[in-house]
Structure 1
Amino acid sequence: MIQWNDYDVGEHRIQCPACGRGPRDKTCGLTIKLDYSGVAHCHRCSFVETYRPERGAHIAAPSTPRITGRQRAPKRETLSDYGCDLWDACEPLKGSVAVDYLASRKCVLPPDDGDLRQHPNLKHPSGYVGPALVARVTDAVTGDAISLHRTWVRADGRKAYVGVSRMLLAGHRKQGGVIRLWPDEAATSTLGIAEGIESALSLAWAVQPVWALIDAGNLAKLPVLAGIETLVIAKDNDPAGVAAADECGRRWVEAGAEVLVSQQTENDLNDTILEMTV
């Protein structure tokens, strides 16, 4: 079980007690709320543990889905009307809490014509309302909008205390999607990529333009793009991230591209930059 008293209020990434493969294999997200209750959820094995100071810890048994005759509805291939309206309601980053968040994370601010905006008062499914980064997810090849990625943030460089602070739109396709932090016109011969937005904007200190691929699965499958001669990968230093960078890099090299991959001891490039600036 998790040693809950070892963690302060906020969000943490830890090794999963159930499927962890080592100290650097931080697949479990842990959130401590202001009342010191908390929840931990592993994104790989779905392990869940909750904690309340007055009750202690509780491990939730994973549910077994019931087999029914109904098939799961297919994911939307294009951005819904709700998603389009939300994107239109978002504003440029400048002068916002989102900028303060990115500055606290030592990130490069992307250009205004990239696919990253902010919403000053976005409602979270929990009922919380607050500032959020909103990124448009587009098909890597066609550029068509397919989803939105939302991150509720605070000015001090932390994510909002809302349990799951990063969310894609439900019912929308993620596979094959990218976040074009710089527009296509900027991607002439070199492109930098990373899983997360913060990691990509950390890579931007060395390489521009950069895109975020959302997760390891998307990064691994990034198709070879016409005109890109050099691909720079800011890999996450966990098993999924390393495997994804290897798979992506191998395909691009076989297609004749030059591929450079980051090497860091921290889990991701943003963690490394934060450690360097302490």
Structure 2
Amino acid sequence: MSSPAADVARRLGENAEAVCRRYLSNGRREGHYWLVGDVHNAPGRSLYVRLSDHSDGRGAAGKWTDAASGDHGDLLDVIAAACGHTAFRETLEEARQFLSLPPPPEMPRNPAPPKAPSGTPEAARRLWAASKPVLGSLGADYLAGRSIVTVSASDPLRYHRHCFYRPSEDDVPGGRPAWPAMIAAVTDLGGAITGVHRTWLDPETKDKAPVAYPRRAMGNLLGHGVRFGPAARVMAAGEGIETILSLREAVPALSMIAGLSGAHLAALVFPAGLKRLYVARDDDPAGGAALSTLSERAEQAGIELLPLEPEYGDFNDDLVIRGRSVLAGALRTQFAAADRLKYL
């Protein structure tokens, strides 16, 4: 017998397109999917919601996956994010109203204090508080294996020895429920933690864990990012944490921010006083779309935007293959003349 929540989720799946039009209004239908930027309704195409069941049984209507972050869930998660709910009962009530269902029988009150649902900023802050310094950990070993060695205690990076991993449909059944993970803090302009990014690691290989989606973010991400250095007149931004850390190996004095996905990079909130922004773009359609949107927003805000192009797939590839000094030389040709003397 299914639970009330499962029944509501199933009913939402039967009305998946209507739910998407209501709570993911910045997206659009393409074939059997609804495409949008993320679960918070940002413009874009990285999150896709199934609008009908697959004939081979591989996926049900209403299930969604964010190709940028690796997160996935059902339409109850979408409603919770759209409405900013902090309690699951609020989401169920909203879903029942949308479906015109009668309220459930009143249940006895539970005197225990509610636990923050997984994926909320509160849960992200709880995970951050439970994590340890990254220096001397498997997290630092993982970065060193990617030629990233400039890591300090003041960086927004920590390490968790036993971080829960929720398997997806693409994972092998019966896998480990938790792996070590590098944890990165996502903050707003005031420095408050609004989310975290997790990179699950394998202690045997000191590389990413052998799971379908070894990188995932949680919490309130839109407009925020992982910040390396204070807000300044000249800064750099990019999608991935390792992209930004690779740039920092060559330009250590420049403040930088990782947006974590193309959609979130495009939506970054500009700090006051920012005059020039270097953007380390990813060489793919999502990276091109993010750069285009960010360029339009920067122009409207009176900010000069300069793209940075890697020689290989991304700047971490450049760092690993070519080394720090060659990477710095390549960046020198892409920097404004006024910044070469100061930062390079």
Give the equivalent residue in structure 2 for 1:160: 209
Alpha carbons of 1:70 and 1:96: their partners in 2 closer, same or farther (altered >3 Å)? closer
Distance 2:124 2:146 in 1: 27
- CA-to-partner distance for each residue in 1:120-175, whole Å, 9 max, x for gaps? 23232344433211011122x34332211111124656210122211223xx3221
Query: Which amino acid letter does the alignment assign opposite residue 102 of structure 1?
Result: L
**Any unmatched runs of 5+ in structure 2?**
1-30, 32-44, 51-55, 64-73, 87-119, 168-175, 324-344
Matches within 5 A, 1:17-32: none
Give the equivalent residue in structure 2 for 1:237: 283
**1:238 Cα deviation after fit:** 0.3
Alpha-carbon RMSD across the aligned residues, in angstroms, is 3.3
Greater CA drift, 113-122 or 227-236: 113-122
Give the equivalent residue in structure 2 for 1:85: 126
Match of 1:190 among 230, 234, 237: 234
**1:46 Cα deviation after fit:** 7.5
Give the equivalent residue in structure 2 for 1:148: 196
What TM-score, normalized to structure 2?
0.55
**Any unmatched runs of 5+ in structure 1?**
1-18, 20-41, 48-58
Contact (CA 8 Å) 2:146, 2:316: kept in 1 or not? Answer: yes
2:180 match: secondary structure? strand
State the structure with bigger RCO (CA 8 A, min sep 6), 1 or 2.
1
Distance 2:259 2:76 in 1: 34
Matches within 5 A, 1:49-198: 61-65=58-62, 72-73=79-80, 74-75=83-84, 79-80=121-122, 82-126=123-167, 127-139=176-188, 141-154=189-202, 156=205, 158-169=207-218, 172-182=219-229, 184=230, 187-198=231-242
**1:275 Cα deviation after fit:** 3.2
**1:263 Cα deviation after fit:** 1.3
- CA-to-partner distance for each residue in 1:34-57, whole Å, 9 max, x for gaps? xxxxxxxx966689xxxxxxxxxx
Distance 2:76 2:131 in 1: 40
Query: Which amino acid letter does the alignment assign opposite residue 164 of structure 2?
Result: K
Alpha carbons of 1:266 and 1:113: their partners in 2 closer, same or farther (altered >3 Å)? same
Distance 2:316 2:177 in 1: 27
What TM-score, normalized to structure 1?
0.67
Give the equivalent residue in structure 1 for 2:13: none
Distance 2:158 2:60 in 1: 37
Contact (CA 8 Å) 1:135, 1:148: kept in 2 or not? Answer: yes
Higher fraction of helix: 2
Distance 1:133 1:111 in 2: 14
Match of 1:255 among 288, 301, 307: 301
Distance 2:309 2:321 in 1: 15
Query: Which amino acid letter does the alignment assign opposite residue 205 of structure 1?
Result: E
Distance 1:119 1:239 in 2: 33
Alpha carbons of 1:251 and 1:71: their partners in 2 closer, same or farther (altered >3 Å)? closer
Give the equivalent residue in structure 1 for 2:247: 203
**1:76 Cα deviation after fit:** 5.6
**1:68 Cα deviation after fit:** 9.4
1:205 match: secondary structure? helix
- CA-to-partner distance for each residue in 1:177-231, whole Å, 9 max, x for gaps? 211133x3xx332211110110110111233222110100111122332122221
Alpha carbons of 1:150 and 1:257: their partners in 2 closer, same or farther (altered >3 Å)? same
1:211 match: secondary structure? strand
Query: How many positions carry a matched residue from both structures?
Result: 219
1:177 match: secondary structure? coil
Query: Which amino acid letter does the alignment assign opposite residue 130 of structure 1?
Result: W
Identity %: 31
Higher fraction of strand: 1
